[in-house]
A and B are shown apart, each in its own frame.
Chain A
């Protein structure tokens, strides 16, 4: 196959669609972080003492830590004193219904194409929209409540369900886990809380759209999903952020807990602003996501479609503690322009007959650089554990790169592991063939890329699979000239 070619080489960044800034009065802390700021965040939210204690413990621990350096990404040192740690739209009380929400906010969501109003009823999706640090709209809470499902902002859960929060928060990702997890625990401002009681199948897809708006605010959401025995929930998170010259930090923590026979599907469609073609601006996405298959036969499935961020650094992971529990990771990551992604998963097999599946599809265009980094660990007690890993990379052009770094640690001889990896390239021959049939080069790339990602897309709920395909085509628009 011919290596570089003029046709495939002409990679350019398509315009970022969601790069508008919402003019809205917000209540923003001055930049800087010390114990006083942590206390002020807690006070602003009227938190009970246990939360303040939790934050302070995390903050003190964070102060002893250094930023991690091991990922295959390059960026200037982040000045944590230059970031503001709290920003909220200015309004006295939280809105009670959609009518009370600032129309400017609603307009923002409309521009993002988020179906927050009536369409939602038709598609049967409940949306918890997070605008900067405060959750502003929660729909369908009533219907969910009838089923016994709790779906609310985590700041509300702290007040309304303190026992659940106290019991589970930090039980999957302790504040000591890593630098960004510690920071998040100290300063997280809001996020989503989901609780599905025993035996309940959540009656609708749950979905949160996050949006970073205010300038220089890091966003530190915290998500906690608890699926009690024999329950089921499917959750989708989607993200966009405005176009800015400076880089913004996003350091979220997501914790999932699945008890006996419970299943959690967690899907992410992420198109944070990736920065411009020169690598200016864009979101730094450093996220800790971990699912705990605590119960026997429980199952946690991560599906992610990542097209955005200047730097993505995340490894949605599964702790397979329960016997016969199942962990899955399906990922599509796109890097173009100067984007960097170091992403993958960790499957930690602790229980017997646990099994995990990893399907990673990496697409690199322009000068995009990406690394799949995956760990499969089979503990000594995990007899009969199985893993299947499939890692495929697709290169568009000759200046991009894809690396695969699998780590395998096996302490039990009965484990069965399979690993497959491929790298392919969209060739000029393929483009010419498609074009000679009447398709544009863009259509051709979209078609080949969608074919490449099919295995992952089919894991997404139908509506979002369509969305994800569209997103990929938009993101690779102009990827060939």
Chain B
């Protein structure tokens, strides 16, 4: 479903991704681990279509389409979702309104009828229940004044509502207490049950106690330097990245 081959990308003059390969199949959960500054968020943003990251080589196909030729919103319409490491605040924009607009933009791009207010609220309540979220966040402006944990939960809630075919979670687990971690895990596992795919960018083994990945990759110096099963994560936890020759990226 997602196939990344020889991907190189620059931020300004600096090359961050230096020939990255990654294959993600339907219903698979991939964990990407790696030291700070190794290019994990860059990869996530390049896949989501951020324009100030310049792709200089390589190909990315998603659902048979050339992903790099699409705008960020077209990628979202195709079913790609990025849970941001640093979710952005939208003062004055009501969270519920935003979610409804996003869902309907995606639905209408797919030729599906838009949901009216009643149908949308029903859907929202249903998803809220599954994630044990309280709905006070929905009445506030998007991410505005949210705590770190609330922002992450809100990202997961958006994911649950939009039901992407491929979700990329960029360090959604950092700085979360166990309860929120569970919510994140529930969200991911729910998607997995729907045969959707997930890329988990994470620093810690901790999240992987709740979500069992099919594959674990180590990203360092702009490349995947090692791939394996879930046991690789345990090994990393024990030995650190140094063991792979992947100390903090310069």
Question: Which A residues have a C-beta under 8 Å from some C-beta of B?
Answer: 5-7, 424, 427-430, 432-440, 443, 447-448, 450-452, 454
Contact = CB atoms under 8 A, between A and B. Distances in A.
A447 B87 CA distance: 17
A435 B98 contact: no
Interface string B220-239: 00000000000000000000
Given A433-B84, A433-B87, A443-B105, A438 B73 contact: yes
Contact of B88 (A7, A433, A451): A433
Q: 10 tightest CB-CB pairs across the interface, nearest first? A: A451-B92, A438-B76, A435-B72, A433-B88, A437-B102, A438-B106, A438-B105, A451-B93, A435-B73, A429-B88
18 contacts: A424-B91, A429-B88, A433-B84, A433-B87, A433-B88, A434-B90, A435-B71, A436-B72, A436-B76, A436-B84, A438-B103, A439-B101, A443-B101, A443-B105, A447-B101, A450-B93, A451-B91, A451-B94
A437 B72 CA distance: 8
A434 B71 CA distance: 12
Contact of B90 (A6, A428, A447): A447
Contacts of A437: 76, 98, 102, 105, 158, 162
Output the residue of A7, A428, A429, A432 with the most chain B CB within 10 A: A432
Output the residue of B49, B52, B103 with the most chain A CB within 10 A: B52
A19 to B, nearest CB: 30
Nearest to A429: B88
A448 B62 CA distance: 30
B77 A438 contact: yes
Nearest to B87: A433
B111 to A, nearest CB: 14
B88 A439 contact: no
Contacts of A429: 88
B109 interface: yes
Nearest to B104: A438
Output the residue of A424, A427, A433, A454 with the most chain B CB within 10 A: A433
B149 interface: no
Nearest to A427: B88
Contacts of A435: 49, 71-73, 76
Contacts of A438: 73, 76-77, 102-103, 105-106, 109, 162
A197 B106 CA distance: 54
B51 A7 contact: yes
A146 B105 CA distance: 49
B82 A436 contact: yes
A411 to B, nearest CB: 37
Contacts of A452: 91-92
Contacts of B97: 447
B65 interface: no
Nearest to A361: B92
Contacts of A7: 51
Interface of B: 48-52, 71-73, 75-77, 81-82, 84, 87-94, 97-98, 101-103, 105-106, 109, 141, 158, 162
Nearest to B48: A436
Contact of A432 (B72, B93, B98, B106): B72
A427 B48 CA distance: 17
B51 A430 contact: no
Nearest to A435: B72
Given A436-B72, A438-B73, A443-B101, A448 B109 contact: no
A6 B52 CA distance: 9
Output the residue of A424, A435, A437 with the most chain B CB within 10 A: A437
Nearest to A430: B88
A1 to B, nearest CB: 11
Given A6-B51, A7-B51, A433 B76 contact: no
A2 to B, nearest CB: 9
A448 B93 CA distance: 6
B92 A454 contact: yes
A450 B71 CA distance: 24
Nearest to B102: A437
Contacts of B106: 438
B102 A439 contact: yes
Contacts of B87: 433
Contacts of B72: 432, 435-436
A7 B105 CA distance: 20
Contacts of B73: 435-436, 438-440
B49 A436 contact: yes
B132 to A, nearest CB: 23
A468 to B, nearest CB: 15
A7 to B, nearest CB: 6
Nearest to A428: B52
Given A437-B162, A438-B105, A454-B92, A447 B98 contact: yes
A448 B98 CA distance: 10
A434 B87 CA distance: 11
Output the residue of B48, B71, B91, B109 with the most chain A CB within 10 A: B91
B110 to A, nearest CB: 10
B102 A451 contact: no
Output the residue of B72, B81, B89, B141 with the most chain A CB within 10 A: B72
Nearest to B144: A451
A427 B106 CA distance: 23
Nearest to A440: B73
Nearest to A446: B101
A439 B105 contact: yes
A450 B73 CA distance: 20
Contacts of A447: 90, 93, 97-98, 101
Contacts of B93: 447-448, 450-451
Contacts of A436: 48-49, 72-73, 75-76, 81-82, 84
Nearest to B143: A433
B166 to A, nearest CB: 13
A463 to B, nearest CB: 19
